[in-house]
Amino acid sequence: MSAVLEPPLRLHRFSRAEYDQMVDAGIFGPEDKIELLDGEIIDMAPQKSRHAGIIRLIEDALRVAFGTGHDVRTQLPLCLDDRSEPEPDIAVVTGGPRDYLDAHPSTAVLIVEVAESTLSYDRGRKLAAYARNGIPEYWILNVADEALEVHRVPQRGSYAERSVLTAGGRITPVHAGAEVAMDDLLP
């Protein structure tokens, strides 16, 4: 008896337009924590209070560093490309909230992800998506190690520059006018 070779199963990849239609139709509700990345709908981990508190610390520090002319958006959609609409922990975009009343921003000058249980995802698929779409600067705050991974200069789905800051360190975001102290980002 010969083995029957079955064709590999194919996943259906959603476009951003299809995803938005499903959201508009009420298929997903406000209680559903999801995002679209590379055509796949990803369930996001529930947010613990420590995670939320760290996001607030980063948000406050970045508002000071960037000042006027930039909007620090927390866990809001970013229309990266035709197959990705992630909701990064923080995205710093040019302009202000009124600039995005009719459409989500499609780029950012800085994206920050706070990684507790999602470190490999943030270092892998998210990093590749942000680099592929030309996000000039991507930070991952590695909560377990209390370290900030800074990625700059997007090239071919990755970043050419990577540095790590720990407690006591300081950094000036590429498009900001002021430094950010690591101690202001950590709990």
The predicted structure's pLDDT at residue 4: 73
Tokens of 82: 């035709």
Going along the chain from its start, the domains and CATH numbers come out as 46-185 (3.90.1570.10)
Query: What letter would DSSP give residue 85?
Result: B
- pTM score, whole prediction: 0.91
Rounded distance, CA 104 to CA 79, Å?
A: 6
- Give the pLDDT of the chain (187 residues) as one tens digit per residue: 566 777 777 888 999 999 999 988 999 988 889 999 999 999 988 888 999 999 999 999 999 999 999 999 999 999 999 999 999 999 999 999 999 999 999 999 999 999 988 999 999 999 999 999 999 999 999 999 999 999 999 998 999 999 999 999 999 999 999 999 999 999 8
Residues 9-32 as b or e (16 or more Cβ within 10 Å = b): eeeeebebeebbeebeeeeeeeee
The predicted structure's pLDDT at residue 50: 93
Q: How far is CA 170 from CA 60, 65, 95, 110, in A?
A: 15, 12, 25, 16
